[in-house]
Amino acid sequence: MYVQQLNPAGNVALTIVLSLVPLIVLFLLLIVLRLTAWLASLIGAIVAILVAAGVWRTPIVYASESFLIGALIGTWAISWIVFWGLTFYNTLVLTGKYNAFKEWVVRNATEDTRIQAILLAWSFGALFEGLVGFGYPWALVSPVLIAIGFEELTALKVTAIANNAPVSYGALGTPIIILSAVTGLPLLFVSSSVAKVVAILALLPPWVLAYLVDKWRGVRDVWPFAILASLSYIAGQYPMASFIGPYLADISGSLISFAVLLGFLRVWRPKRITSLAKSTAPSDPGYIQNRSDVLKFWLSIIAVIIVVTLWTGPWSPLTRTTIATLSLKAYSDLFHKVVAVSFAFNPAVAGTSILVSWLVTLPILGAKPSTIRQAIARPFKQYWGGILTGVFVVGLALVFNYSGMAYSLAWKAANLSTLFIVVSPIFGWIGCALSGSNTSTNAPFGAFQTAVARVTGLPIGLTPSLNSVGAEVAKPVAPQTLSAGVSTTSYVRKEGIVARNNLPWTILILVYLIIIGVVYYLIAPSIFTP
């Protein structure tokens, strides 16, 4: 059996540097050479295999097999979900139901810009983070804000900051699914642990949005709306993430928040209305609002929630039915026991539930055969690179874990002892700021964060959760996300301006996150233990 070495270079500092080489290569390819993410991930994975074989003396066959296991997990746990999530979204667009819903949203919002920012960027944006992720909320929501009069840079900043809390459960929960896969922790435990952190984090962004639009006057005027925006989102997201799973947490959080806020606006308005010159609902002259289309939009979303909840909940045997397993074992010098990386093939995984729920929505949406063909074909054109990235980055992560590189890094990071709670979210922030993806950050750093927790005795669920939420906080400055987010504005190829504009707010929220982590560790560490 292959034995993972803690100090294969014979020098601790050199070993730590060498363990970081695959990640440094990945980030240099992304940031300096600006390679597309899927190609950078593939090259990074090849470098990881070479370092594993050349320094950690992992047999090349084992290193390659660990990559294959990671690639299979990335394909079946990420790409299968993303593909059908995008297919469902495309069906909404192609049948006209998305445009009808968007018009309905804007027409039912007040003319007050603070209210519009919270309702559209926070509640409306979380829905599309939950469905497709990968920067789509920026690209979809920013143009709506711009159309009703927001200055472009403000619209992008508002959308980016509002998108913080939903990211960990974006794209139907893929960052959480990967975090569970690379750490070996139960999926529902990981989802629940992250939900506890996100629930407190989510208390802040609506206040920030009110400030961004109208400074302290905005905060004073709309504080009841900001409080309700946070609490209603948490009320929808937290139970779903904690007791059912990560797949629909953003969607349920968004819809409940959206419904509660619209209901609140029927009985409350700020005393002073702040509006923009263009603050009338955007309208296509040839478009007549169709309430039937809006109803069908809602019914299709509800159908997805019902099918996926019944399919993937803890009561369902479907996601636990394995028909084949590929496993690779090693002996860990850090833990003095056998560890393994494995892929369990289950045809009824969450991605399949999205496929089935999409099929259920087709008659509701009135999708024609030609529409169905287009909806299936579009994901390959829209995000084939993102789909490949999910495959290759998890392959890289499992080579990093199986070879022992992650454990060598954890070996010395554990010297920080309880201070690692402060550092933990910073790893996630840096990883996402460089890679642009919460999923791509959880994949290489998840096992490392968990290993440090095991060695130091920290709550086993807290550090990987802080890694994931730290990553979501960095999204407003991540180059990959910025490129997608500005694609529907005039800031294309001006991502640096947007990043500089967003940076102070991401630092503020990161500090807030560190405080959350420290407080949880001091007063309630047991809730992060399986």
User: Which pLDDT tens digit goes with each residue over 449-472?
Assistant: 999 999 999 999 999 999 999 998
- Does 104 fall in a domain? yes
User: Global pTM?
Assistant: 0.82
Cα dihedral 230, 102, 177, 530 in deg (nearest 10): 20
pLDDT score recorded for residue 516? 97
Average pLDDT, the chain: 87
Where is pLDDT greater, at 369 or 272?
369
Number of domains the chain is built from: 1
For 186-228, how does the pLDDT look when each residue is reduced to its tens digit (9 = 90+)?
999 999 999 999 999 999 999 999 999 999 999 999 999 999 9
- Does 391 fall in a domain? yes
For 384-413, how does the pLDDT look when each residue is reduced to its tens digit (9 = 90+)?
776 787 788 889 989 998 999 999 989 989
Q: Is residue 15 within 8 Å of 408, Cβ to Cβ?
A: yes
pLDDT score recorded for residue 286? 43
- Does 140 fall in a domain? yes
Lowest-pLDDT choice from 145-149, 364-368, 494-498, 504-508: 494-498
pLDDT score recorded for residue 518? 96
- Does 284 fall in a domain? no
pLDDT score recorded for residue 53? 96
pLDDT score recorded for residue 194? 96
Task: Give the pLDDT band of residue 21 (cuts 50, 70, 90).
Answer: very high
Containing structural domain, residue 386: 3-279+296-528
For 156-173, how does the pLDDT look when each residue is reduced to its tens digit (9 = 90+)?
889 889 888 888 898 788
368: CB partners within 8 A, 6+ apart:
none
pLDDT score recorded for residue 209? 93
Give the C-alpha separation, 31 to 363, whole Å: 45
Task: Give the pLDDT band of residue 5 (cuts 50, 70, 90).
Answer: very high
pLDDT score recorded for residue 155? 86
Q: Is residue 145 within 8 Å of 158, Cβ to Cβ?
A: yes
pLDDT score recorded for residue 186? 94
Q: Is residue 225 within 8 Å of 214, Cβ to Cβ?
A: no
For 291-331, how does the pLDDT look when each residue is reduced to its tens digit (9 = 90+)?
889 899 989 989 988 998 888 888 888 877 888 899 999 99
pLDDT score recorded for residue 285? 45
Task: Give the pLDDT band of residue 488 (cuts 50, 70, 90).
Answer: low
- Does 324 fall in a domain? yes
Give the C-alpha separation, 470 to 165, whole Å: 10
- Does 155 fall in a domain? yes
Task: Give the pLDDT band of residue 134 (cuts 50, 70, 90).
Answer: low
Give the C-alpha separation, 242 to 244, whole Å: 6
